[in-house]
Structure 1
Amino acid sequence: MKPFEDGSAANDEFQSVSPGTHRGELVRDLLRQRVRIPSAPSDGLKRPPLTARIQEALGAGSVLYLEAPCGYGKSHALLSALHESERSPEMIKWISFSTQDNEPARLMTLLGIALNPQPSHDTPTLAHATASHSEALSLLLAQDYWQRPDRNAVMVLDNLTSVSHPVVIELLEQLIAELPKGLSLALVSRKPLPFETHKSELEGRFTRLGAEVLELSRQETFEFYSAALASSQLTTVAIDHLYSLTEGWITPLALYQRELAVLAESRLPIQETVSVERFLRDSVLSRLTPPQQRALRVMAEMDIVSDDLYGCLVDSSCDTSFRPSIAAEAGIPMRPLPGRGRWFRLNPLFHEWLRSSALDGALDRALAASRWFCQHHQLPEALRYALLSENAEEAVRIASEGSEALLIGQDTASLLRLRRSLPPGLLERSVRLRLVYSWVHAIGGQFTQARALLEGLPDDERESLSGRINALKAFILRGEGYVDEALEVADQALAAEVLSTQGQLVTQMVRSSALCAAGRFADARDANRAAARLAREAGDSGSELLAVYTHARIELGKGALKHAEQLLRTGLDTAMNETSRSTRVGESRLQLNLVLVLWHQGREAEADRLLVTCGRHAEQARDLGLLLAMALRVLICRTQGRLEDAFVWIGRAERTMHAWQVDESVFVPVLEALKASCWLASGNVDSAAHALARLQPYRETGCVPELIPMMPGLLDLLQVRIELARGDDIKAADTLRRIRLKDGGAIPFAVEMHLRLLESLLAYRERGVAAAQKLLAQAVYLAAQEHFISPFAELRIEMSELMEKAYPHLPEGEFTRSVGQLFGLSVAKVNAAPLAEPISEREQGVLELIARGLSNQEIADQLHISLHTVKTHARRINAKLEVKSRTQAIVRARELGLL
Structure 2
Amino acid sequence: MNSHLLNEKFIPEKLPDICVPRPALLNTFHQYAQKRVILVSAPAGFGKTVSTLLWLAASGRKSIWISLDEYDNSPIVFYKLLCTGLLSASPDNKVIAELLRNPDFTVSPVEHTINFLSHLDFGSASYALVLDGTHLITDREIRKSLPYILKRLPLSLVTLLLTREEHTEYMESPISEGRAARITSGELIFSELEIQKYFKAYGHYITPEEALAVKDVTGGWAIGVHVVARNGQLEPGGKLDHSLYPYMRRHIWDPFDRDLQQFMLMTCVVDEMTAALANRLTGREDSEAHLDRLCAANSFVSRTDGGQHYRYYHIFLQFLRNVLEEDTSLDKDELYSSTAAYYRERGEYYSSIRFAVKAKDFEALTIDMLEMSEYSTQGGAVSARVAMQDLHLLGDSIPENFTENESYLLISQCWYYYLLGDAQRFCTYLDQLYAKLPEIMEQHKTFIRYGLFMRSIDFRRPIFSVSDLLTSEIIDVVVRSTSRATTLMNALPFIHRCHRDYSDFASDIEEKTRKAEPVFTVLLGRLNTYMAHALRAMLYYERNMLKEAKACCDLAVSILPREFVGEPSFSAALTQAIILSALGQKAEAEEKLAEVQAGVLEQNNSHLLPNFKAYETRVRLSDGDKHAASEWFEQYFVTPVKDLELYKITQHFTTARAYMVLAKSDEAMRYIIRLKKLGEDFQRPLDIAEADVLKAILEWALGKRQEAQHTLEFALSAAQEYGYVRIFAEEGAAVLPILRKISLKVEKKSYTGTLKAKYIHEVTFAAYEQSKRKKGLAIQLNPKAVRLSKQQKHILGLLAKGYKYKEIVEYTGLTIHTVKSHASAAYGKLDVNNSMDAVLKARELGLME
**Which TM class, normalised by the smaller chain length?**
0.3 to 0.5
Please report the TM-score for the alignment, with normalisation by the length of structure 2.
0.43
The one of the two structures with greater contact order (alpha-carbon pairs below 8 A, sep at least 6) is 2
Please report the TM-score for the alignment, with normalisation by the length of structure 1.
0.41
